[in-house]
Structure 1
Amino acid sequence: MKKLIVCLITLSSVGFMSCQEKSDKVPEAVKITFQKKYPGENDPDWKKDDHGNWESHFKIDGEKYRADFNEDGTWIETENDIKKDNLPEAIKKVLKEKFPDEEITEVERVDNAEKGLFYDVELKRKGKNKDIMFREDGTIIN
């Protein structure tokens, strides 16, 4: 039992230190761009993704957001989950017409540096789910 407790404490300490290490290594350019884009947001959680970009996780008015930045501080995109009911009516109409029997597993509102504002709707599929990107007017963009 004593060994188990020591092991748990050690693992917890290592986990905590590794989290601290990640946030301490966020490049200053990334932090500056984040603050310019989201003034007043002082406590984002940072992590580096599989592509080498920096992800910030934070909340605005109780809603969860994720913003991505290149190593040099360039903003890539910001996304947040929304409820299916909060999709624009034009998108709901297209989904009903073109994908009437599809189950929606996730909906995100995405503001992207290159593509602008769009909605990413994930449909449940056998094997791998399918993402469809929509403009606010219901136009499919992928």
Structure 2
Amino acid sequence: MKNKKYVIGLPIALILGLGIYAFAQRTSAPLRVQASFVKKFPNVKKVTWDKESEKEWEAEFKMDGIEYSANFLEDGTWKETEHEIKKNDIPENVVTTLKKQFSEYSIDEVEFIEDPNGSQYEIGLEKGKEEIEVLIGTDGQLIKTLDEPRD
């Protein structure tokens, strides 16, 4: 009877332990990534990590009451930071580009993105059931049009 408890209990404990370990691995970024995050965002105290891909981690956090996400590669290299902004906060030069080139669309959502190459606005646009995304630089120049929105 005692051996039966071990035969049943040991595999269950092993499975639970491996599950907890796998979950911890998925939600705890490598130390290099965490160190890069702290260096880039020294005043952020609460951060949630998620593994975006095999070699990329995403941090979700709040700064000044605004929700941000920042992506880092496994080696700690910062990839990008983004946060949503209100439609009213879109700069006039970006609004002018939208009116000229996408007048038939309405703005769904806007994110401000910073990466090693600079800053840009990622704007989700809608026209009926059609959705597109555009990237517009801080200078108001159209960078790219994406037919299918990114996740």
**2:43 aligned counterpart, secondary structure:** coil
Report the Cα distance in structure 2 between the residues aligned to 1:49 and 1:123, rounded to whole angstroms: 25
- CA–CA distance in structure 2, aligned partners of residues 89 and 82 of structure 1: 14
Aligned length: 127
* 1:46 alignment partner in structure 2: 49
CA distances 1:79-110 after superposition (whole Å, capped 9, x unpaired) = 00001110111011111122112021110000
CA distance in 1, matches of 2:52, 2:120: 22
Q: Show the 5 A alignment for 1:112-131.
A: 112-113=115-116, 115-124=117-126, 129-131=131-133
Aligned residue for 1:10? Answer: none
In the alignment, the residues of structure 1 paired with residue 54 and residue 86 of structure 2 have an alpha-carbon distance, to the nearest angstrom, of 28
Matched with 2:26 is 22
Instruction: Give unpaired runs (5+ residues) of structure 1.
Output: 1-12
CA deviations on 1:39-86 (whole Å, 9 max, x unpaired) are 021221000114641000000010000000001110000000001110
- Is the radius of gyration larger for structure 1 or structure 2? 2
Question: Unaligned stretches of 5+ in structure 2?
Answer: 1-15, 145-151
- 1:124 Cα shift? 2.0
Name 1:59's counterpart in structure 2: 62
TM-score (norm 1): 0.79
Identity %: 34
Offset of 1:23 from its aligned partner?
Answer: 2.6
Give 1:69's aligned amino acid. F
Higher strand share: 2
Separation in 2, partners of 1:74, 1:61: 24
The SS at the match of 1:91 is helix
TM-score by length of 2: 0.75
For 1:72 and 1:128, locate their aligned partners in 2 and report how far apart those are by CA, in whole Å.
38
| CA RMSD, Structure 1 to Structure 2 (Å) | 2.4
